[in-house]
């Protein structure tokens, strides 16, 4: 392989001054933007001129905005380098790739033909296998491919479309002709990122986007929704479609949540589903709900541990039997990974002639399958000129031999091919087209692969007008992969005529029945929402406590060794459970110089119980329920994570705390204002109130000590921490007395910060949970009512004659704590039913 140096003398340069002036073409590659003379192609002229006018400085600003939007929207991609997962911000270049609608039309026709062809191939190979009998396709292309799943043989019905979703990776030869370099059929990824890219780009270039007459993506997603609905085996109007994800650790989890959200389907994991009675059910807090269609993002072999990979925890045991019985449909059906098969490419022209009676319109990269002796010889003779690949797509390019250069490599590859010839292909080397990428304030040519997406439609396929372009991470790199630092681009199909009216007729125009349903909450989601509520409240309580302590630390009126301040520091340790901290016999030194410990409780992510630790727990819980939160609420969460990097001294910590408190309040507000009052919201609210009750009880226990000589100072701190100082002052001016303090914080149900208020809310929400399920008052509701009644019956005046009054208060607080903890467990037991992972029975030998 030869790598063309962008600065090589033969490289042509665009003559324009400004941004375009520095754009250097790569020789040997077709450039998307510029023709051979270095001038922008006609369909690029408008965008090229606009970019040039914007200039590097402005484009840099837009690029910053773009990254800001991606960050706020939490658009991420999980990277598995060095066996350690890290979540990386989605990389999007601000410059779109442009194609004319007339060229796209040709590509589209080719892709539709290809999808139809692959669908026919799939149906034959999992059915009569006439292609193998007639010898059109060598048997080993099928039988040696691990994607040929024998349990799926004969699974699919004999009519209708089986390949519902299909993606193809497209590349250009040096002469600009387009070919397919990869087929992705089992669970193609990227269409959600394509949609997000479009959203972001239309946001940062509103007028450029508007004036460029770009084909919209919305229709494609409407077709997809229609295709999924049509899959419902029972043909119902309102079928239940779910999106099955491997979970937040999955590479493209963001996209799963984004698509689920965009299409209005619940996002579920295997453990949320169960097979019973030959059907698949979604386990919700309201009981089991039948699932009709599964849009899966889990690979074939992981979908059913009974019949496929027994060690999979991502699937649903029995789902294949449900599909076989015709009770549930999967998109794509299990077994489609057989089409992700480079060996097939060598035979597609013949297959097109045989199955369609047509020539293949869109060629594949020229491919020689080594299972055929003649083709194998060609490959072995031309090892250095060809790209050698396994027929099974592999995410790690190291397994792709690539072009073979050294003699030693040649020997190794030859040996491997001879040992398992049917598992390898040789492919011609496609130079890939280049496209301008904005890096370091200038445009640089990088190689690109474009992924196109198709969805089944009545009588054929619909192609997304656009796609996901991926470009190499470096100017001289051939590896176009998000796992290896590549960038993505939006793809604009530019209408040469006014926007094509491809509008599908609105599928069904019958009036919709009004419903307030549509809120299936799986137990796992309820669990995460509950803990999201708890963690966000816990974080807020810690933040308010820390702020109060830091204020006093900065304030000059504090006498050294101030007893009240020491109690306050102890409260920090007790409330955040960051022992030993300021508590215990060893604490003297820490108490004398508390800054370090306070900053650690604020910002040390490795300290269990620290504010940052809680914020990370919020982020995790929020990620698991991503599709349930409003965009605004998610954005706030994404901003929260960034507040800690600066908190290295007390002043900076104060500023960080202020912002964290504001963000947490904003998060609570967004949830309160935009979540429907369904079961999901109830769990979030119960979690929030339960945590606030627990933390207020804890604060009372620590700081409400009327016998203490400096009690008033503590009461003042107490009122400030629970955010009730203003109310107190309005009612009682500046006279601090124990009974009014206790009444306001413990018993006053009109104070949204009081314990009684939290308990009343919990009682009401828990009762609603039961009502919504049509159940009578359960154990959780009884515990909530018990706790509330205890507070209501407690006589706050009785604490004034100190000794026994204080004992009664401690008893009450202990009783409340116990009930709240039981309530939390009861909810977990009743609703979050953590199904134990399934286990394999010892197979019979």
Partner 1 sequence: MRFSIVHTTRYRYALPASLCHNEAHLRPRDGCGQVCEYSRLVVEPTPAVLHERVDHFGNAVTYFAVQEPHRALTVTVTSRVAVDRAETLPNTAASLPWELLVERVREDHGPADGGDDAREFALESPMAPTTAELAAFAAPSFAPGRPVLEGVHELTRRIYSEFAYDPNFTTVATPVTEVLAQRRGVCQDFAHLAIACLRSLGLPARYVSGYIETNTAPGVGGLRGADASHAWFSVYEPTLGWIDFDPTNNQVVGRRHVTVAWGRDYGDVTPLKGVMFAGGAHRLEVAVQMTREEG
310 near partner 1, rule: CB under 8 A: yes
SS3 assignment, position 241: strand
Q: For residue 598, how many other CB atoms are within 10 A of its CB? A: 20
Buried b (16+ CB within 10 A) or exposed e, 281-307: bbbbbbeeebbbbbbbbbbbbbbbbbb
User: Nearer Cβ to partner 1, position 299 or 490?
Assistant: 299
306 near partner 1, rule: CB under 8 A: yes
User: Nearer Cβ to partner 1, position 307 or 340?
Assistant: 307
Which uninterrupted H or E stretch holds 682? helix 679-703
Q: Which of 188, 274, 533, 581 binds partner 1 (CB under 8 A)?
A: 274
Q: Work out how close the CB of 343 gets to partner 1 at its nearest, in angstroms, rounded to a whole number.
A: 13
Which uninterrupted H or E stretch holds 454? strand 442-457
Q: Which of 45, 61, 249, 277 binds partner 1 (CB under 8 A)?
A: 277
Q: Which of 80, 143, 579, 732 binds partner 1 (CB under 8 A)?
A: 143
Q: For residue 744, how many other CB atoms are within 10 A of its CB? A: 23
Q: Which two tokens stand for residue 450?
A: 């474009």
151 near partner 1, rule: CB under 8 A: yes
Give the residue among 398, 462, 345, 389 at the shortest CA–CA distance from 111: 462
Q: How large is the C-alpha radius of gyration of the chain?
A: 32
Residues that contact partner 1, how many (by CB under 8 A): 40
Distance CA 524, CA 529 (A): 9
Binding pattern for the stretch 92-131 against partner 1, x by CB under 8 A and - elsewhere: -------------------------------------x--
User: Nearer Cβ to partner 1, position 31 or 307?
Assistant: 307
Q: Work out how close the CB of 139 gets to partner 1 at its nearest, in angstroms, rounded to a whole number.
A: 4
Start-to-end CA span in the chain (Å): 51
Distance CA 259, CA 165 (A): 14
Q: Work out how close the CB of 153 gets to partner 1 at its nearest, in angstroms, rounded to a whole number.
A: 4
User: Nearer Cβ to partner 1, position 68 or 133?
Assistant: 133
| Mode of pairing for the β-strands spanning 402-403 and 178-184 | unpaired
Q: Work out how close the CB of 775 gets to partner 1 at its nearest, in angstroms, rounded to a whole number.
A: 20
135 near partner 1, rule: CB under 8 A: yes
307 near partner 1, rule: CB under 8 A: yes
Q: Work out how close the CB of 776 gets to partner 1 at its nearest, in angstroms, rounded to a whole number.
A: 24
132 near partner 1, rule: CB under 8 A: yes
Q: Which residue has the tokens 């039988």?
A: 143
Distance CA 626, CA 259 (A): 11
Q: For residue 57, how many other CB atoms are within 10 A of its CB? A: 9
Q: Work out how close the CB of 841 gets to partner 1 at its nearest, in angstroms, rounded to a whole number.
A: 4
Residue 369: phi and psi, rounded to 5, are -90, 125
Q: Work out how close the CB of 369 gets to partner 1 at its nearest, in angstroms, rounded to a whole number.
A: 13
Buried b (16+ CB within 10 A) or exposed e, 169-183: bbbbbeeeebbbbbb
User: Nearer Cβ to partner 1, position 212 or 269?
Assistant: 269
153 near partner 1, rule: CB under 8 A: yes
Site for partner 1 in 395-424 (CB under 8 A): 419-420, 422
Distance CA 290, CA 225 (A): 19
Residue 488 Cα to chain centre, angstroms: 17
Q: Which of 54, 117, 144, 717 binds partner 1 (CB under 8 A)?
A: 144
Contact in structure between 134 and 351 (CB atoms under 8 Å): no
133 near partner 1, rule: CB under 8 A: yes
Site for partner 1 in 421-480 (CB under 8 A): 422
Q: Which of 324, 474, 574, 782 binds partner 1 (CB under 8 A)?
A: 324
Q: Which of 190, 270, 318, 486 binds partner 1 (CB under 8 A)?
A: 318
Q: Work out how close the CB of 208 gets to partner 1 at its nearest, in angstroms, rounded to a whole number.
A: 54
Distance CA 633, CA 235 (A): 36
Site for partner 1 in 822-841 (CB under 8 A): 835-836, 838-841
User: Nearer Cβ to partner 1, position 514 or 841?
Assistant: 841
Only segment of 62-70, 302-310, 396-404, 768-776 that touches partner 1 (CB under 8 A): 302-310
Q: Name every residue whose Cβ is closer than 8 Å to that of residue 265 and which is 6 or more positions away in sequence.
A: 241, 242, 243, 295
User: Nearer Cβ to partner 1, position 144 or 454?
Assistant: 144
Distance CA 157, CA 162 (A): 8
Contact in structure between 726 and 753 (CB atoms under 8 Å): no
User: Nearer Cβ to partner 1, position 192 or 317?
Assistant: 317
278 near partner 1, rule: CB under 8 A: yes
707 near partner 1, rule: CB under 8 A: no
SS3 assignment, position 627: helix
Distance CA 201, CA 193 (A): 12
325 near partner 1, rule: CB under 8 A: yes
Q: Which residue has the tokens 């009762």?
A: 767
User: Nearer Cβ to partner 1, position 9 or 135?
Assistant: 135
Interface ranges with partner 1 (CB under 8 A): 129, 132-135, 139-140, 143-144, 150-151, 153-154, 274-278, 305-307, 310, 317-318, 321, 324-325, 419-420, 422, 835-836, 838-845
């Amino acid at each position: 392989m030869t790598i063309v140096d962008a600065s090589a003398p033969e490289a042509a340069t665009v003559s324009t001054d400004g941004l375009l002036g520095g754009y250097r073409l790569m020789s040997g590659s077709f450039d998307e933007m510029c023709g051979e003379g270095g001038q922008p192609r006609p369909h690029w002229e408008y965008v090229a001129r606009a970019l040039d006018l914007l200039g590097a400085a402005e484009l840099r600003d837009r690029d910053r905005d773009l990254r800001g939007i991606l960050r706020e929207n939490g658009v991420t991609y999980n990277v598995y380098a060095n066996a350690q997962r890290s979540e990386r911000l989605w990389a999007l270049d601000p410059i779109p790739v442009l194609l004319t609608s007339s060229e796209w039309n040709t590509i589209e026709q080719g892709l539709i033909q290809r999808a139809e062809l692959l669908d026919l191939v799939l149906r034959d190979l999992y059915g009569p296998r006439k292609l193998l009998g007639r010898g059109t396709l060598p048997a080993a292309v099928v039988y040696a491919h691990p994607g040929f799943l024998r349990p799926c043989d004969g699974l699919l019905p004999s009519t209708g479309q089986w390949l519902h979703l299909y993606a193809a990776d497209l590349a250009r030869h040096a002469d600009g002709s387009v070919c397919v370099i990869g087929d992705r059929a089992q669970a193609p990824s990227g269409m959600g990122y394509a949609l997000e890219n479009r959203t972001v780009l239309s946001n940062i270039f509103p007028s450029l986007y508007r004036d460029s007459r770009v084909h919209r993506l919305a229709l494609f997603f409407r077709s997809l929704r229609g295709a999924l609905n049509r899959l419902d085996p029972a043909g119902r109007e309102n079928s239940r479609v779910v999106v099955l994800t491997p979970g937040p650790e999955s590479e493209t989890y963001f996209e799963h949540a984004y698509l689920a959200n965009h299409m209005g389907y619940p996002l579920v994991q295997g453990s949320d589903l169960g097979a019973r009675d030959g059907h698949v059910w979604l386990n919700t807090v309201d009981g089991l709900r039948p699932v009709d269609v599964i849009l899966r993002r889990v690979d074939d072999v992981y979908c059913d541990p009974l019949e496929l990979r027994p060690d999979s925890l991502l699937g649903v045991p029995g789902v294949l039997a449900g599909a076989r019985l015709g009770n549930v449909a999967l998109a794509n059906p299990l077994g489609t990974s057989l089409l992700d098969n480079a060996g097939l490419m060598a035979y597609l022209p013949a297959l097109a002639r045989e199955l369609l009676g047509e020539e293949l319109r869109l060629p594949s990269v020229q491919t020689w399958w080594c299972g055929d002796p003649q083709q194998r010889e060609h490959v072995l003779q031309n090892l250095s000129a060809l790209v050698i690949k396994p027929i099974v797509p592999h995410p790690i390019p190291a397994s792709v031999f690539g072009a073979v250069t050294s003699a030693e490599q040649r020997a190794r590859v030859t040996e491997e091919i001879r040992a398992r010839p049917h598992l390898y292909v040789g492919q011609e080397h496609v130079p890939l087209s280049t496209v301008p990428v904005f890096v370091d304030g200038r445009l640089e040519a990088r190689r690109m692969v474009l992924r196109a997406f198709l969805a089944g439609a009545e009588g054929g396929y619909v192609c997304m007008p656009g796609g996901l372009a991926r470009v190499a991470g470096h100017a001289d790199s051939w590896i176009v992969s998000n796992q290896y630092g590549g960038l993505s681009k939006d793809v604009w199909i530019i209408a040469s005529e006014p926007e094509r009216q491809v509008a599908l007729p609105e599928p069904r125009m019958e009036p919709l029945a009004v419903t307030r349903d549509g809120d299936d909450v799986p137990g796992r989601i309820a669990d995460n929402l509950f803990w999201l509520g708890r963690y966000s409240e816990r974080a807020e309580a810690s933040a308010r406590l820390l702020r109060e302590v830091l204020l006093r630390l900065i304030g000059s009126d504090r006498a050294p060794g101030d007893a009240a301040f020491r109690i306050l520091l102890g409260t920090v340790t007790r409330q955040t459970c960051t022992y030993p901290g300021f508590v215990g016999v060893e604490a003297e030194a820490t108490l004398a110089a508390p800054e370090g410990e306070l900053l650690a409780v604020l910002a040390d992510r490795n300290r269990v119980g620290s504010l940052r630790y809680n914020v990370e727990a919020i982020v995790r819980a929020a990620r698991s329920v991503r599709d349930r939160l409003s965009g605004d609420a998610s954005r706030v969460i994404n901003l929260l994570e960034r507040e800690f990097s600066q908190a290295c001294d007390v002043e900076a910590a104060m500023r960080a705390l202020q912002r964290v408190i504001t963000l947490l309040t904003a998060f609570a507000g967004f949830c309160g204002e935009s979540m429907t009052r369904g079961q999901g919201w109830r769990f979030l609210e119960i979690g929030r109130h339960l945590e606030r009750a627990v933390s207020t009880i804890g604060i009372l226990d620590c700081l409400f000590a009327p016998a203490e000589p400096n009690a008033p100072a503590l009461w003042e701190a107490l009122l400030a921490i629970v955010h009730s100082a203003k109310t107190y002052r309005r009612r009682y001016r500046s006279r601090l007395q124990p009974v009014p303090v206790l009444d306001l914080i413990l018993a006053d149900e009109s104070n949204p910060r009081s314990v009684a208020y939290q308990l009343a809310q919990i009682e009401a929400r828990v009762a609603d949970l039961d009502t919504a399920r049509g159940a009578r008052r359960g154990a959780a509701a009884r515990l909530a009512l018990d706790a509330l009644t205890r507070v209501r019956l407690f006589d706050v005046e009785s604490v004034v004659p100190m000794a026994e009054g204080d004992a009664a208060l401690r008893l009450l607080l202990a009783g409340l704590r116990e009930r709240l903890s039981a309530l939390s467990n009861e909810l977990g037991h009743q609703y979050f039913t953590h199904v134990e992972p399934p286990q394999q029975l010892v197979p019979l030998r």
